[in-house]
């Protein structure tokens, strides 16, 4: 490794707003974060689930009548046949 090109890697603390403190090593000193694994909804199990059914209904309502429904092969009118000359 080359000398004098690498940053100092020293002991530091990472502090969350919820009060959690993690001691680790980093190139930065005293890191403050807004959310950590102790208070993040995904890790705590208090995550809100999205109402995907409501989103689909909203989409269908918005585009109702703007898109022509697909016609099944049985219901589709037959194409005119070309006559031989």
Q: Give the model's pLDDT for residue 79.
A: 64
Whose tokens are 């269908």? That residue is 60
27 located within any domain: yes
Terminal Cα distance for the chain, rounded:
86
Full residue range of the structural domain in which residue 58 is found = 10-62
- Whichever domain contains 18, its CATH number is 4.10.80.400
77 located within any domain: no
d(CA 85, CA 81): 13
Contact 14, 22 (CB under 8 A): yes
* Tens digit of each residue's pLDDT (9 = 90 or more) over 17-69: 888 999 999 999 999 998 888 887 777 777 666 666 677 788 888 888 776 66
10-16 vs 31-33, strand pairing mode: parallel
d(CA 13, CA 8): 15
19 located within any domain: yes
pTM given for the model: 0.46
d(CA 85, CA 82): 9
């Amino acid at each position: 490794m080359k000398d004098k090109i690498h940053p100092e890697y020293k002991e530091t603390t990472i502090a969350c707003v919820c009060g959690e403190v993690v001691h680790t090593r980093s190139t930065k000193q005293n890191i403050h974060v807004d959310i950590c694994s102790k208070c993040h909804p995904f890790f705590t199990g208090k995550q809100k689930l999205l109402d995907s059914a409501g989103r689909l209904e909203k989409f269908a309502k918005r585009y109702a009548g703007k898109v022509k429904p697909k016609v099944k092969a049985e219901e589709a009118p037959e194409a005119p046949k070309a006559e031989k000359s």
